[in-house]
Structure formats: structure tokens, C-alpha cells
Amino acid sequence: MEIQSRLVAIVDDDASVCRALSRVVRSLGFSTAVYASGEALLGDAAGMPLDHVLLDLHLPGLRGTDLLQALRLCSAATQIVVMTGLDRPGARQACLAAGAVAYILKPVQRVELERLLAASPPG
């Protein structure tokens, strides 16, 4: 599978974060799908082969940790990176234990995204 056909879902309730991440991810050669909520992603996830999910930990409605668990049930192959601007004690360990491949702090750096997206094999 070519890198251009690999899909990265971005889930964040901040539209400016979604726009910025989408630009960076597309510049790295990936396709993107942007969601303002976990519920919106789950509505599409069943029919869409997601290679990666960049998931905001603190979402309204379905929280990031709940979404992480739901995505793990749907697709064990999807690489999920949890992002947060509010790091709390125990959050990193909980997310990694729930199946996230990484836990990163905002603002997310391009070089960090490039490393994370390149490190995981194509679906």
C-alpha cells in the first residue's frame, strides 16, 4: 500500500488544531479525515480502513479514553496516538495500557508526527 493511500483520522474538538494537524499530515503524504467528536468518528469508522488516529484525550461527549477502547474493539490494526494539552498523572499509562501506540503533548511537532506515522507499517 502506498503512503498516499494511507488514511489518518484526526479527532479534536478544536477546529484550528484539526486544520493545523491536517495540513502537516497531508504534507507528509497521508490522506486525512477530520472529526470534531468521537461519536462522529465512530459513525464513519466501520466502513473506513483507518491506518492511524490522532486522538485528543479531552473531548466533549465520548471521552478520548472511551473512544480509544471502542476503536480497539473495531480495529486492532489501527495505530492510535493520543494527544493532550492537559497532561494528568496516570493518563499516559492508562492510554498506553488501553492500546494507544503513543501519548504525546500538544502542541504536536511535525518531526514527532513524522516519526510516529512512519514508524507504523501500512495497513
Lookup: cell for 55: 486522538
Is residue 80 over pLDDT 90? yes
- Give the pLDDT confidence of 27-61 residue by residue, as tens digits: 999 999 999 999 999 888 766 788 999 999 999 99
Topology of the domain covering 3-119: Rossmann fold (3.40.50)
**pLDDT confidence of 89, banded at 50, 70, 90?**
very high
Angle between helices 110-119 and 15-27 (to 10 degrees): 60
Q: What pLDDT score does 81 carry?
A: 97
Is residue 123 over pLDDT 50? no
Report d(CA 18, CA 24) in Å as an integer. 10
Lookup: cell for 45: 469508522
Is residue 4 over pLDDT 70? no
Is residue 2 over pLDDT 50? no
Q: What mean pLDDT is predicted for residues 101-107?
A: 96
